Amino acid sequence: MNTIDTENSLGITFCDRLELAFTHGEGSTVWDESGKPYLDFTSGWGVTCLGHSHPVITHAISKQASKIIQSPNAGFTYSPSRAALLTLLKGALPTGLAKTYFCNSGAEANDASLKLARKITGRKKIISTLGAFHGRTFNTLSVTRDTVNSDRYTPKQADTVFVPFGDITAMVDVIDNQTAAVIVEPIQGEGGVQIPPVDYLSQIQTLCHQHGALFIVDEIQTGFCRTGKFFALEYSGENITPDFLTMGKGIAGGFPFAGFAVSEKVSLLLEKDDHGGTYCGNPLGCAISYAVINHLVENNIADQVTEKGFYLQKNLSQLQNQFPELIREVRGVGLMCAFDFFDQSLTRPFTLACADAGLLVVPTRNGIIRLLPDLLVTQESIDKAVKILAEVMRES
């Protein structure tokens, strides 16, 4: 059997896959088993921030793997690579975040933050936003999209309230002295690159302070220069200090790794046995993350992303003008971009047609196509991607 037949017969699949199997990649390009090249404007859902097989990452893997991959007794012992990463990350985090804990995935980071928020406050109620995506663990499903999303999993996580994203009046109506935490993305990712008012986060922070609730900012997709800032909450001003900042995806450029940082107030309330994990910042993951973050900082990638993002968004707006009967709206911040179709049924066939033409895009619910190229993508690759998008739209 070939790769696809083997996976279909022996693996468990929970989604509609593209009939493609990729063998290798370099930069913004990947190749399938037949040798056909594709422009990757998905970055593995925002993960491969430096592109595929970047020397910074491959060197870090090789160097650290030749030393030690997992520490004896895991988190019960100290690690030089974890200490180095903590030091580097401290300089990149927003002011006021005191300590960081590393884990395996963004969902795990959010799950731990929700759990700890309930423990610290002694409250159960969590406020999330419609269209949000915070993970697929039992705890994070309860705050993802809406209550319908978690109805099939029983027993349901109780005391979760959803409000429209970006609507501070709706938030005022539901937050109270029984609220443990508010969890929000600075820009909704899977929700379709939804961008709130600039003062949205600061207003939520004020409400949390007023009611004794904790403020969880999910930067899993938006962090590490994806939006043209190191963290997207920077667009809301310098006075945003969440109680929890969750991180993932671009933090290690493709290696499964994540973490959450906490405020000084929260760090003082954490106790032994509140949390733990086998891979809580294992040496290999920390070494890779250090290499990625150091590259982002030293090469001022955030400013480059801003420039490239403007260029991509300008081209997408031109596509909207060219195909006004197809595209409802174009949105984007940095290299986190999306466009809506008037006809939601176009999303799947459009994605398949783009793949046939050599471009990989991210289909999202409600007729939305996301574009998440790596942060080092060239103008030439952007031009090529936009040309393919135009050709496929012309035939749609």
Task: Give mean pLDDT, residues 382-392.
Answer: 98
Beta strand segments in the chain, E: 22-26, 29-32, 37-40, 97-103, 125-129, 160-163, 179-184, 214-218, 244-247, 258-263, 327-333, 336-341, 359-360, 362-364, 368-371
Residues of the chain with CATH 3.90.1150.10: 3-54+300-395
Cα diameter, the chain: 61
**Given pLDDT bands bounded at 50, 70 and 90, which one contains residue 44?**
very high
Question: Quick one: pLDDT band at residue 147, thresholds 50, 70, 90?
Answer: low
Gap between the Cα atoms of 65 and 107, Å rounded? 26
Question: What is residue 191's predicted lDDT score, i.e. its pLDDT?
Answer: 93
Residue 155 has what pLDDT?
A: 66
Domain with CATH 3.40.640.10 in the chain: 57-298
pLDDT score for 396: 84
Rounded to whole angstroms, how far apart are CA atoms 154 and 134? 19
Architecture of domain 57-298: 3-Layer(aba) Sandwich (3.40)
Distance CA 333, CA 228 (A): 7
pLDDT reported for residue 358: 98
pLDDT digits (tens, 9 = 90+) for 193-238: 999 999 999 999 999 999 999 999 999 999 999 999 999 999 998 7
Q: What rounded mean pLDDT belongs to the chain?
A: 94
pLDDT (average), residues 307-335: 98
Nearest to 375 by CA among 254, 276, 269, 286: 254
Buried b (16+ CB within 10 A) or exposed e, 362-387: bbbeebbbbbbbbbbbeeebbeebbe
Residue closest to 309 by CA, chosen among 335, 287, 288, 331: 335
Structure tokens at 84: 């180095």
Instruction: Give the number of other CB atoms < 10 A from CB of residue 142.
Output: 20
What is the spatial distance between Cα 311 and Cα 35, in angstroms, rounded to a whole number? 30
How much of the chain exceeds pLDDT 90, in percent?
A: 86
Spatial separation of the C-alpha atoms in residues 161 and 234, rounded to whole Å = 26
pLDDT of residue 150: 63
Q: What is the pLDDT of residues 88-103, one digit of tens each?
A: 999 999 999 999 999 9
Band of the pLDDT at 290, cuts 50, 70, 90? very high
Closest CA to 164 of 150, 141, 184, 142: 184
Q: Place 375 in a pLDDT band, splitting at 50, 70 and 90.
A: very high
Here the tokens at position 280 are: 């809580």
Q: Report the DSSP pairing between strands 359-360 and 37-40.
A: parallel
The pairing of strands 179-184 and 125-129 is parallel
pLDDT at residue 156, rounded to an integer? 66
CA 171, CA 204: separation in Å to the nearest integer? 8
SS3 218: strand
Query: Which pLDDT belongs to residue 110?
Result: 97
CB 251 within 8 A of CB 85: no
Asked if pLDDT for residue 315 goes beyond 80, the answer is yes
CA 273 centroid distance within chain: 28
Closest CA to 102 of 238, 271, 255: 255
Homologous superfamily assigned to 3-54+300-395: Aspartate Aminotransferase, domain 1 (3.90.1150.10)
Q: How confident is the model at residue 391 (pLDDT cuts 50, 70, 90)?
A: very high
Cβ(216)–Cβ(246) under 8 Å? yes
Region 381-390 average pLDDT: 98
Distance in angstroms (rounded) separating the CA atoms of residues 275 and 115: 9
What three-state secondary structure class fits 188? strand
DSSP 8-state secondary structure symbol assigned to residue 194:
B
How buried is residue 32: exposed, middle or buried, by Cβ count under 10 Å (0-12/13-18/19+)? middle
Per-residue pLDDT reduced to its tens digit, 148-170:
666 666 666 778 999 999 999 99
Q: Average the pLDDT over 295-315 and give the result.
A: 98
Q: Which of 363, 256, 371 has its CA nearest to residue 312?
A: 371
Instruction: Give me the pLDDT at residue 149, please.
Output: 63
Q: What is the pLDDT of residues 331-367, one digit of tens each?
A: 999 999 999 999 999 999 999 999 999 999 999 878 8
| pLDDT-above-70 percentage for the chain | 97
